[in-house]
Each structure stands twice: as structure tokens, then as C-alpha cells.
Amino acid sequence: MKKRMIAILLASAMVSLAACGTTNEAPAAAGTTAAPAATEAEADAMETIDAAATEAAVADSGKTYKVGVCQLMQHNALDAATQGFVDTLTGKYGDAIEIDVQNAQGDSATCATIVNGFVSNEYDLILANATPALQAAQSSTTTIPILGTSVTDYGTALGMSDFTGTTGTNISGTSDMAPLDQQEDMILELVPDVKKIAILYCSAEANSSFQVQQIEKYLDEDGIAYEEFTFSDSNDLGSVVNNAVVGVDAMYIPTDNVVASNMPLVTQATGAVSLPVICGEENMCAGGGLATLSIDYYDLGVATGNQAIDILENGTDPAGMEIRYATATTKKYNAAYAAQIGVTVPESYEVIEGTEAQ
């Protein structure tokens, strides 16, 4: 009731503001009435009114929601996606939504435990942040709506050979896949004399394998030799990357959660031999790569949050909800690493914030 009273008082204030305001717009055509242009203060007040009215309507309806978030592990990209999702839902529903965010610390078995808890507590919706979390959620329920984010290819992640953009199940979400042909182009642009590339990834991550298969097709078309260097978990990464840097001209790392959480191990080996490293996403690159084709993971989380609102509020079935993809990509580079290995990056690339060369 208090929030509705605030909205009413603000609306009254807006009426007074409109009555005494002026406008520089041209007169209205005959037979029409011109609306005065809103000042910045008036626009802000209207946003406050809209937010208060929305929250009051949710409160009056008595409807509340419980949403569970299972995030595979903590690193900047996944953190940003979760934050964008949470901010979108709390901005819409305020106190009428309870969001339970849990981190599996990189363990797939823990993902299963987390999502099973969400199912037992009859949550209204589950967000699975990263592929192993999505796979755990898929195994846990066929009835509660599930949204994925930070997932590269849903067909691969869900074991669907006939995936065409919708899952036909209780699952939808957003993909973090940047165009792989453009990533291969970056390798040729930054290392024009490249003859052989090391491809580093975790064999336990299905979406990493998918990206590697795709980029290898483009490398084959351009006659570039490559060798895969895989590891099963972070315990093997150090020794594998030390072998990977020998006899190659560059390294490619797809979007890979295990590598993303252990970039210092990679950089220790690649930096020692001044090896250019092209990464699948920005936060990996900031940790010690050379360049990346970047998407915004916070925006990805916002898009997933809007999908959640469509499901919770409108009853939209995830089965027919198209997987959404990042629409904007940016070429970015780690200026400090570029200076360290002596590579000059074209002016069309943006410096990743926090990596400026000293």
C-alpha cells in the first residue's frame, strides 16, 4: 500500500510539472494536440512511477517466485552472466522473487546435487550457468522450466543430433558462441606467417570439443596445420600446456571453463616463448591471452533474465523458445601481453580494460 501511495504522489507531482512546463517543439498540426516534451527530471520521475507501479502490481497479485541458479564455477564470465540474470529479475519483481544462487566449484557432481535440491523444493525455474550445470538440470527434471546460459552449442550439450534452434523440451536459454570463422580469421590476421597451431582444451567439456571441431574445419580450408592438446582436469593442465607450446606458431583456446579458471598456468608457459594466444572469450584473454572476439556476458545474462520473465509471467513454454545468441561482437586484445611478446595489434582492436601496457 505504501508503494502505491508513493506512485500516486509522484504521479500528482508530474501533473503539476507538466502544467507549468514549456516546450520548444513546433506547434501541432490543425486538429491535433501536441504533448509537451518531458524534461530529464520528468523522465526520471516517470521511470520511478513505472517501477513502483510494477512492484505494487506484483505485490497486489500475491504472486511470488522461487528461482534457483546453478553456476558451474567462479570466474568473471560466468559471474557476469549470473549477475545480469539476477539484476533483470530483481529489477522486475523486487521482493516478490527469491533467487537462490549456488556455485558448484567446478564439480559436475555438485551441479547435480544443487539442481536436485531446486527440484525437491519445487522452484519455479532453474538457471543453469555453463554446460555441466545444464546437463545436470536436464537429468533432474522434465517439468520445471530450465534456462541455460554460457552454453556454446545446445545440441551438443543436450545430446540432440537434430537440434534446429529449439529443444522441444523444458529447456531454452542463451548461447555464448562467437562466430568461429571470424576467430580463425583473427589468427591469420595477427600471425600471418602461421604454419602450425596448438589447440588447447578440456576433453571433459562437450562444448569445447564442439568449438574445436568447427574451427578445425576452417583451418583445414586454409591449409593450416594444428595439433590438439587435451586434458581431463586442472591437475593435468600445467604439463599439457608445457608440451603444447613446443614447435607451434600460435595457440587457440575455445571458450573453456577449466582453462578460464587457470589462465596463469597457461600464460606462464606461453609467455616464456612469446606465443600468440587467441582465446574464445574476453575474460580468458584478460588473464593472459593476446586477442579475442568478445561478447558481453552480463548482456547475455540480461537476455536470459528476459526469457525467464516471459516464462514466469506469460507462461511461455521453453520447448518452443528459440535459443538466443549474442548479436554484437568486438575484437579485443590484451595490451600488456601484446607488448610482452612483441606483437603489434591493428587499430581496429580495442584494449581489454585493465590490460593496458605499462
Do residues 170 and 307 share a domain?
yes
Asked, for residue 3, whether it belongs to a domain, the answer is no
Half-sphere exposure of 229 (CA within 13 A, CB side): 25
Stretch 89-96: mean pLDDT: 97
Q: Is the torsion defined by CA of 54, 55, 59, 63 positive or negative?
A: positive
The predicted pLDDT at position 230 comes to 97
Distance of CA 333 to the CA centre of its chain: 19
Q: What is the CATH number for 195? A: 3.40.50.2300
Q: From 127, 130, 70, 125, select the one nearest 103 (Cα to Cα).
A: 70
- Strands 225-231, 277-279: pairing kind: unpaired
In the structure grid, which three cell numbers stand for residue 259, read together?
582453462
Q: Give residue 157's Cα distance to chain centre.
A: 16
Is residue 40 pLDDT above 60, yes or no? no
Q: Are residues 135 and 223 in the same domain?
A: no
Burial (CB < 10 A; 0-12, 13-18, 19+), residue 252, is buried
Same-domain pairing of 286 and 188 = yes
- Burial code (b: 16+ CB inside 10 Å, e: under 16) for 114-132 equals bbeebeeeebbbbbbbbbb
Alpha carbon 284 to its chain centroid, in Å, reads 13
In terms of domains, do 216 and 194 share one?
A: yes
Is residue 316 a part of any domain in this protein? yes
313 with 214, same domain? no
Q: What angle do CA 159, 161, 162 make, to 5 degrees?
A: 125
What pLDDT does 4 receive?
A: 38
Is residue 83 situated within a structural domain?
Answer: yes
- Confidence band, pLDDT 50/70/90 cuts, at residue 357: confident
Ranking 45-59, 178-192, 319-333 by mean pLDDT, the lowest is 45-59
Integer CA distances (angstroms), 27 to 34, 43, 57, in order: 7, 22, 37
Res 214: pLDDT: 94
Assess whether 312 and 339 both reside in one domain: no
339 versus 54: which is more confidently predicted? Answer: 339
Q: How far apart are CA 73 and CA 83, in angstroms?
A: 14
- Residue 55: its H or E element: helix 40-61
Least trusted range by pLDDT, from 6-10, 43-47, 308-312 = 6-10
Residue 1 lies in a domain: no
Looking at the structure, tell me whether residues 196 and 308 fall in a common domain. Answer: no
| pTM, to two decimals | 0.73
In terms of domains, do 86 and 126 share one?
yes
- pLDDT, tens only, 46-84: 444 454 444 444 545 578 999 999 999 998 899 999 999
Residue 35 within a domain: no
Non-local CB neighbours of 328 within 8 Å, separated by 6+ positions: 295, 296
Determine, yes or no, domain membership for 221: yes
User: Helices 206-221 and 180-190 meet at what angle, rounded to 10?
Assistant: 60
13 in a structural domain: no
Supply 119's cell numbers. Answer: 527440484
- The region, left, alpha or beta by phi > 0 then psi within -120 to 50, assigned to residue 64 is beta
Tell me: the pLDDT tens digits for 224-268? Answer: 999 999 999 889 999 999 999 999 999 999 999 899 999 999 999
Q: Which of 118, 117, 125 is nearest to 147 (CA)?
A: 125
Give buried/exposed letters for 33-43 (b at 16+ CB in 10 A, else e).
eeeeebeeebe
Domain span including residue 77: 63-176+296-325
Query: Which H or E run contains 70?
Result: strand 65-71
Instruction: List the grid coordinates of 10.
Output: 509522484
- Could you give the count of Cα atoms lying within 13 Å of 143 in the half-sphere of its Cβ? 7
Q: What are phi and psi of 226, to 5 degrees?
A: -150, 160
Taking CA atoms, 7 is separated from 20, 53, 253, 263, 298, in Å, by 21, 6, 51, 50, 30
The per-residue pLDDT for 11 is 39
Domain count, the chain: 2
Same domain, 287 and 232: yes
Residues 207 and 168 in one domain: no
Q: What pLDDT, in 10s, does the model give residues 281-307? A: 998 999 999 999 988 999 999 999 999
Residue at grid coordinates 595457440: 251
Section 135-153 average pLDDT = 97
**Shared domain check, 199 and 162:** no
Q: Specify the pLDDT at position 39.
A: 45
- The set of cell numbers assigned to 351 is 584494449
Q: Domain for residue 70, yes or no?
A: yes
Instruction: For residues 343 and 240, state if they share a domain.
Output: yes
Among 52-56, 179-183, 232-236, 336-340, the least confident range: 52-56
Reported as type and span, the H/E element at residue 325 is strand 324-325
